[in-house]
């Protein structure tokens, strides 16, 4: 390649790089920090019971810190106040504090789903809650094939359509549901046959459902991470440094 051809190519490479930088730099300042689940729900205006349960169980803090650290994002099903009001009276009070935490965590999936990714996901889906026998409590999501397809969530105890989306900006998706998602593990028929193993004594796997435990399951349950954000970020950061070095050398 001749000297002039090289200069010519380099010149255009710098222009292209500067344009690319300008384009990628522009949308950056939009999210001032990780999203805040409580703020999203408060804006929705009809989730006061769910917000209270999130706070009491401190799952709100767990969610916010996971949103700041997780590359998989999170999906939250938010039952409306009407959903809680239509529960059989005493339902919440009939379960232990520990089970209330399980109930709240059951509404959180350790992965970001849009309505269209739900359609291509195979059931069952892990939630952040862990079942009595160990492993994650799961739920199913089914999507109709018809036009304006409805997405249903089913737990084995209740089935309800996703009523609307409060947010679907990665890393947080929040969907409104008109029923409380009652986990089969807590509200299904209590028959010994349904347990995977005959329980010896005590309640195995019913340890404190800590943030650490759920964060762990968040990592495990993503069987197919579609992208490695930290890797790409490092790559783009490196490329950006090289490009700006070239840029400043030329200008
Ligand atoms: C999240 O939002 C709630 C309500 O708007 C607020 O009380 C809380 O301090 C916020 N949390 C964080 C971590 O910003
Ligand atoms: C998010 O994480 C970073 C580093 O992990 C930390 O410095 C920062 O304080 C966190 N922000 C919030 C709002 O938790
Ligand atoms: C969703 O659930 C409703 C009622 O439970 C049912 O009529 C409908 O067929 C379900 N749709 C899908 C796609 O499963
Ligand atoms: C969820 O889906 C799995 C796999 O299709 C199925 O075996 C299971 O019975 C379903 N459970 C519920 C509660 O729909
Ligand atoms: C993502 O990439 C980083 C840097 O290349 C690597 O350290 C990390 O292990 C990768 N994570 C996954 C889940 O592949």
What averages of pLDDT result for each successive group of 10 residues across the chain (251 residues)? 56 55 51 84 96 95 90 96 94 91 96 92 94 88 78 95 94 97 90 46 44 41 43 49 54 58
Alpha carbon dihedral 74, 225, 156, 210, in 10-degree steps, equals -50
CA distance 167 to 217: 24
- Give me the residue spans of the domains in the chain: 1-30, 35-250
CA distance 160 to 181: 8
Q: Is 62 in the pocket of ligand 1 (CB under 6 A)?
A: no
The pairing of strands 74-79 and 108-109 is: antiparallel
Distance of CA 196 to the CA centre of its chain: 28
* pLDDT score, position 198: 44
* pLDDT score, position 193: 46
User: Do 175 and 165 contact (CB within 8 A), yes or no?
Assistant: yes
Q: Does 2.30.180.10 match the CATH number of domain 35-250? A: yes
* pLDDT score, position 197: 46
The pairing of strands 151-154 and 159-169 is: antiparallel
Q: Which atom of ligand 5 is nearest to the CA of 229?
A: 1
* pLDDT score, position 135: 87
User: Residues lining ligand 4, judged by CB closer than 6 Å?
Assistant: 123-124, 140, 154, 156
User: Residues lining ligand 2, judged by CB closer than 6 Å?
Assistant: 33-34, 65, 68
Q: Is 228 in the pocket of ligand 5 (CB under 6 A)?
A: yes
* pLDDT score, position 190: 72
CA-closest residue to ligand 2 atom 14: 65
Helical pair 48-57 and 97-105, crossing angle rounded to 10 deg: 120
Distance of CA 152 to the CA centre of its chain: 17
CB atoms within 10 A of CB 226: 7
Contacting residues for 171 by C-beta, under 8 A, at least 6 apart: 34, 35, 67, 70, 71, 72, 73, 74, 112
* pLDDT score, position 17: 55
* pLDDT score, position 119: 87
CA-closest residue to ligand 1 atom 2: 39
Q: Which atom of ligand 1 is nearest to the CA of 33?
A: 14
């Amino acid at each position: 390649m001749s000297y002039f051809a090289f200069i010519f190519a380099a010149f255009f490479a710098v222009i292209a790089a500067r344009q690319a930088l300008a384009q990628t730099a522009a949308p950056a300042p939009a999210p001032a920090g990780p999203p805040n689940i409580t703020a999203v729900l408060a804006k929705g205006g009809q989730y006061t019971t769910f917000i209270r349960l999130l706070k009491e169980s401190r799952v709100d803090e767990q969610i916010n810190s996971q949103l700041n650290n997780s590359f998989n994002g999170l999906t939250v099903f938010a039952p409306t106040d009407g959903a809680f009001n239509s529960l059989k009276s005493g339902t919440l009070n009939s379960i232990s504090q520990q089970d209330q935490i399980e109930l709240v965590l059951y509404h959180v999936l350790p992965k970001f789903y849009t309505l269209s990714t739900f359609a291509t996901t195979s059931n069952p889906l892990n939630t952040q809650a862990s079942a009595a026998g160990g492993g994650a409590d799961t739920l199913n999501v089914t999507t109709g094939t018809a036009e304006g397809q409805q997405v249903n969530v089913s737990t084995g105890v209740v089935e309800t359509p996703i009523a609307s989306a409060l947010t679907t900006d990665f890393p947080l998706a929040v969907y409104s549901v008109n029923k409380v998602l009652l986990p089969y593990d807590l509200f299904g028929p209590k028959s010994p046959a349904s347990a995977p193993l005959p329980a010896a004594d005590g309640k195995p796997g019913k340890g404190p459902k800590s943030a650490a435990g759920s964060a762990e399951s968040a990592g495990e349950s993503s069987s197919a991470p579609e992208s490695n954000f930290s890797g790409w970020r490092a790559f783009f950061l490196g490329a950006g440094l090289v490009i700006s070095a070239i840029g400043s050398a030329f200008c």
